Amino acid sequence: MPDLLRKPFGTHGKVHQITPESAGWLYVGFSLYRLRAGERAWEATGDREVILVMVEGKAAITGAGQDWGVLGERMNVFEKTPPHCLYLPGGTDWEAVAETDCVLAVCSAPGHGGHEARRIGPDGISLTTRGKGTNTRHINNIAMENEDYCDSLLVTEVFTPAGHWSSYPSHRHDEDDYPRMTYLEETYYHRLNPADGFGIQRVYTDDRKLDETMAVSDGDVVLVPRGHHPCGAPYGFEMYYLNVMAGPLRKWRFEPAPEVAWIMERDG
């Protein structure tokens, strides 16, 4: 069975560390810190670009030789307010000092040094709605392809109401065949409200050589190396996930699964 479901390895400090080497792929990295007020986290970007996402809480952040002040505003991710984020190119470092208890995500991918460090959000990020009926979900786009301040990274937040499906109709982006499709590895960092709930995520290929269905808990990460990857929130439990994607081309082009292509044709 592929090791696609990653549980946090603690409740405090660095609780996730997914590298291309540990994931068995080439591009996406994802780490997560849970800090108490007054605690610090520090990393060097090396040859990778990084987007820091303040998932919850506030932290004073320095990076790329600049003091960015205190980033963060929402204390609970399910407030759905726009996140405070920071883009850092390769060859720099950063430090975060928690002002409150906080959750800090570190999204990374290969960087070419083509962009300067900059704040991302909350200005310019607005919650938008996608889908219809019980396929409706709400999106905070942090760095998708229409924003040109990244070399490789594509990052977004998604809020899925209780009883709804998300990343649906099922779709894949696992072939480097632009403009038909782009190859993008992807991670999902999941949160549930209430936190003792669960969600479901399936990762499967058309030939079913990969076909895994996972129950995700609050704080889990799911890896999507290839194939379709829908997820669902049972009635009573709201789902959040932070997506990180990267590949050889910074564009998001996908194909729906054959069995659900008609939904996309009908709903647009």
Instruction: Domain ranges for the chain, please list them.
Output: 5-267
- The pair of three-digit structure tokens given for residue 147, joined into one six-digit string: 């924003």
Helix (H, G, I), strand (E, B) or coil at 263: helix
In sequence order, the 6+-apart residues with CB closer than 8 A to the CB of 256 are 169, 170, 171, 263, 264
pLDDT for res 1: 45
pLDDT (tens digit per residue) in 20-39: 999 999 999 999 999 999 99
Q: How far apart are CA 14 and CA 34, in angstroms?
A: 6
Read off the DSSP letter of residue 122.
S
Q: How far apart are CA 235 and CA 144, in angstroms?
A: 30
Residue 238 reports pLDDT greater than 50: yes
pLDDT for res 166: 96
- Which strand (E) or helix (H) includes residue 205? none
5-267 has CATH 2.60.120.10 classification: yes
pLDDT for res 147: 85
Query: Is the full-model pTM beyond 0.85?
Result: yes
pLDDT (tens digit per residue) in 106-141: 999 999 888 999 999 999 999 999 999 999 999 999
Percent of the chain with pLDDT over 70: 99
| Predicted confidence band of residue 12 (pLDDT cuts 50, 70, 90) | very high
